[in-house]
């Protein structure tokens, strides 16, 4: 399967849902509600095809061939 992640083409056979993708990218296990098991802040938001996906839906959103996925990290500044 191929999709775009933050503007870069990506091919994979191991990732099926947003939850799996986030776990693979961050190295952190997530609950089905999208919360890190270690209880620390994750600090990211995910959009698929320009639509924001709430973390409670990461477990059910299946990545499709051709999807455009953006992962945004929260940055504090002043």
- Structure confidence at residue 78 (pLDDT): 65
Total domains in the chain come to 1
Q: Does the residue 78 lie in any domain?
A: no
* Domain assignment of residue 6, given as a range: 2-73
**CATH for 43:** 3.10.20.30
Q: Does the residue 55 lie in any domain?
A: yes
pTM: 0.90
User: What are φ and ψ of residue 36, in 5° steps?
Assistant: -65, 140
Cβ contact 9:21 at 8 Å: no
pLDDT in tens, the chain (78 residues): 899 999 999 998 888 999 999 999 999 999 999 999 999 999 999 999 999 999 999 999 999 999 999 999 988 776
Helices (H), 1-78: 18-26
């Amino acid at each position: 399967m191929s999709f775009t992640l933050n503007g870069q083409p990506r091919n994979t056979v191991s990732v099926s849902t947003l939850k799996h993708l986030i776990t693979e990218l961050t190295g952190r296990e997530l609950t089905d509600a999208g919360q890190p098991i270690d209880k620390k802040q994750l600090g990211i938001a995910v959009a698929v095809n320009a639509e924001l996906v709430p973390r409670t839906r990461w477990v059910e959103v299946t990545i499709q061939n051709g999807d455009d996925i953006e992962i945004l990290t929260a940055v504090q500044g002043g």
